Amino acid sequence: MSERLQPGDVAPDFTLPDADGNEVSLSAHKGRKVIVYFYPAALTPGCTKQACDFTDNLSLLADAGYDVLGISPDAPEKLGKFREKENLKVTLLADPDEKVLDAYGAFGEKMNYGRTYLGVIRSTIIVDEEGKVEKALYNVRATGHVAKIIKDLDI
């Protein structure tokens, strides 16, 4: 379990496959702000709501200078099914070995119904144009989170 990121930290660079198997790197987005969000599993109700909210607000975020990357431990094939079924426009990345999730502090102990287990901590990291963490939000809710980000960023 890694440390959570703090504003001012350098965002760990990564290269992960997208839903089509193409490699996507954080460093390729240098010069633009990036919203990197981590979610537990494609094709589940909360994660679907969150991905649809990002898709619905993608042009607003892009016009404000933000790119959006969603990362989960799902395989690229499952991400492709998720994208097709829900008509998602957000870039979904696969991190099946959970290395990037861990580097961002988005994987760790969780509690559900009194049971403790390891899993994805729903998190959003906002990275500035220089690759530094602007905001680090952990244990966020799937519903209403995108609206809160837009409000907090004055978009």
Q: What is the pLDDT of residues 78-112, one digit of tens each?
A: 999 999 999 999 999 999 999 999 999 999 988 77
- Band of residue 2 on the pLDDT scale cut at 50, 70, 90: low
Pull the structure tokens for residue 124.
């959003």
Q: Residue 37's beta-bridge partner residues? A: 70, 124
Closest by CA to 126, choosing from 39, 7, 40, 1, is: 7
Which residues are CB-contacts of 65 (< 8 A; sequence separation ≥ 6)? Answer: 32, 33
DSSP structure class, residue 27: G
Angle, helix 145-152 to helix 45-56, in steps of 10 degrees: 40
Instruction: Indicate the pTM of the whole model.
Output: 0.94
Active-site annotation holder among 36, 47, 106, 140:
47
- Decide if 52 is catalytic: no
- Band of residue 129 on the pLDDT scale cut at 50, 70, 90: very high
